[in-house]
Every structure is written in structure tokens, then in C-alpha cells.
Amino acid sequence: MLINSYLFAENDNTMKYLKRILSFIVIVLIFFFLIRTLVLNWENIPFNELHFNGWYIALSLLMLVLHFLSYSKSWQEIMIALGHDIKFTQSLWIIATTQIAKYLPGRIWYMIGRVYIGKKENFDSNLLAVSMILEICLLIITSGILFLIATLFSGMLQATYIILGILLIIVAATVIHPRILSRLVSLIVRLLHRKPVTISMSYVQMVRVSIFFFGLWLAQIIGFYFLILAIYPADFSMLPTLMAAYTLSWITGFVVLFAPSGLGVREGVMTLLLSSILTTPLAIAMSFLSRIWFTFFEIVVFFVGLLVRRAGRRSTQLPAADRLD
């Protein structure tokens, strides 16, 4: 019996190592082909049209700030709707200090980090887990709706697919109904062996929370558009395609579990869609640049979150110190 248990554990560890190795190989291959394509098509880059505009860079980073504020507000609204009184500053620094963990393999580390830190703030671990499941559901639903809307305006789809897209938008708008979403969340909670939680939110409340998710996506997309404008004279008519590329690449990168934060997969999908409005090497460069741009921002946000947390702790300790004096 002990031998069988040992062999099972050994096989399990071997499978984990094999998955990590295969994941690494796939990511390396994706980047290899992207970089190879970039090098082979180097002469197709319109260098005469490229420039650098610091103001657009600043605007792109400002839009990321708005994205982060919307993200923090959306989670605060979810927690409040689930029955937890949480301050906006708490939501802000908790998200800021845990999102960086999404760059680790898998999709669970930043969730574990948020639950761990949330428990230290006396939040119920079960509700924390449910809030993140609800958050992920709304992130996918809202990004999917924006992708469908973008395809309608970009002219990427034929008439048949436009009708299908409209139907899917209606379906997505129906899915965010509390009763339907509650059943979906309850199913996921049961699979994770968590206690069942009732989402006591009205449809109006759910729509209100969804608005913040739409806000965070739009802020990212507009920021990405400004980032491109800082280097290349992108026409405003490109925005729907940029929206489609950004949302679909995120969805694909999220669904593919083997790539940390969709690394490689996201760049590949974004390149594929951006190639319809940009030259292939420029599309590859922009997909790489978007990764650097957003990762840099999240690193900065991580350290800012630590400072906000430290400032919050000092403010709560000062009254006690004054009383001792």
C-alpha cells in the first residue's frame, strides 16, 4: 500500500515536471516564430512613419491608472454585495500587491495570494474565493461582449456572423443575471469544495458592477491605442480592431492555463488580429510592446500598493500612540 502511494506520488510529480517542460517549450516556440517572422520581415517595417511622442506615452499610462482604479472599485463592489464592508484603499492595495503573482505558472497563485492577505484583514476566506470566481466570470463576460461589439464595428465578420454576434451579446447580458450567475458560481464553488454562498444581488446591482469591468477594459484598450499612437500614426478607425485584438488575446491567454499570464499565447493571437491593420512585423512589435507596457505598470503598482498598505497601517497606529503620550 505504501509502495503504491509512493509510486502514485512519484508519477504525479513526474507529470507536473513534464507539463512545465512542455509549457516552456510551447512558449519558447511561439516567441521563436514571432521573433523569426519579425527578423525576416524587418524591411517591411515602415520606419519612415515611426516616431516617438512622450505625451501619448503619458496618456497611455494615465489610462492604465484609470483601469487599475476601476478594477479596485469593481472588486470592492463585489465584496460589498457579498456582505463584506471593505474600504476602497483596502481593495486597492490588496489587488496591487497580489496581481503580480499571475505571472507564475497556473491561474491560482494570485487568487491564493488575495485570499491569504484578505484573511489577514479579517475577511471571510470563503467569500474571498467566491468574490474572485465572480470577478473572473465578469471579466470574461465583459471582455467577450466588447470583442463581439468590436467585430461588428470593425467589419471583420460577414452578415451571418454579425447576427450571431448580436445573439451572443444578448446571451452574455442574460448570463450576468444574478440567478443564472449564482448557479454558475455555486457550481464552481462545489467543484472547489467550498461552502455554498448565496449572491444576494439584484440585476441592477450586477449591471452596476459590470459597468466598472467595462470601464477597466475600455481604459486598457484606449491606453493601448495611445501607446501605438506614441510610435505609429494609427487612424481612429483602427480602434475597433484594436479592441477585438486586445480582448480576444486576453481571453485566449487566460483560458490557456500552461502559459503564465498568457505569455506567448496572448502575443500570438494579438499579432494575428493586428496583422489585418498593420504590417506583420509592426503587429509583432506592438504585441511585444503591449506586454512590456502593462507588465511595467503592474510592477510599479505593486510597489505603490506596498506604500499604500504601509501608510494605512501607520494611520491606524497613530491614534494609539497619541493616547499613550
Q: pLDDT tens for residues 140-158?
A: 888 888 888 888 777 655 5
What average pLDDT score do residues 290-306 get?
88
Structural domain harbouring 102: 54-310
Q: Does the pLDDT at position 213 exceed 70?
A: yes
What average pLDDT score do residues 297-310 get?
83
> Does 323 fall in a domain?
no
Least confident segment among 2-6, 68-72, 140-144, 238-242:
2-6
Q: Does the pLDDT at position 323 exceed 70?
A: no
Q: Does the pLDDT at position 9 exceed 80?
A: no
pLDDT band for position 20 (cuts 50, 70, 90): low
Domain total in the chain: 1
Q: Which is higher by pLDDT, 71 or 164?
A: 71
> Does 149 fall in a domain?
yes
C-alpha cell at 253: 491567454
> Does 145 fall in a domain?
yes
C-alpha cell at 123: 475577511
Other Cβ atoms within 10 Å of 160 Cβ, number: 8
Asked if 163 and 169 touch (Cβ cutoff 8 Å), the reply is: no
pLDDT at 306: 82
Least confident segment among 9-18, 61-70, 199-208, 267-276:
9-18
pLDDT at 83: 78
Give SS3 for 15.
helix
pLDDT at 30: 67
Length reported for the chain: 325
If you average pLDDT over every residue of the chain, what do you get? 77
pLDDT band for position 59 (cuts 50, 70, 90): very high
Distances (CA, A) of 121 to 237, 296, 304, 323: 46, 28, 19, 24
> Does 214 fall in a domain?
yes
pTM listed for this prediction: 0.80
> Does 2 fall in a domain?
no
DSSP 124: -
Percentage of the chain beyond pLDDT 70 is 68
pLDDT at 258: 64
Q: Does the pLDDT at position 119 exceed 60?
A: yes
Percentage of the chain beyond pLDDT 90 is 14
What average pLDDT score do residues 197-204 get?
70
pLDDT at 325: 42
> Does 148 fall in a domain?
yes
Residue with cell 499571475: 102
Least confident segment among 56-60, 87-91, 215-219:
87-91
| Farthest CA pair distance, the chain | 75
pLDDT band for position 230 (cuts 50, 70, 90): very high
Asked if 256 and 280 touch (Cβ cutoff 8 Å), the reply is: no
Measured distance CA(78)–CA(72) in Å, rounded: 10
Distances (CA, A) of 85 to 90, 95, 121, 122, 127: 10, 16, 11, 11, 12
pLDDT band for position 67 (cuts 50, 70, 90): very high
> Does 43 fall in a domain?
no
Would you call 77 exposed, middle or buried from its count of C-beta atoms within 10 A (0-12, 13-18, 19+)? buried
pLDDT at 97: 86
pLDDT band for position 55 (cuts 50, 70, 90): very high
> Does 14 fall in a domain?
no
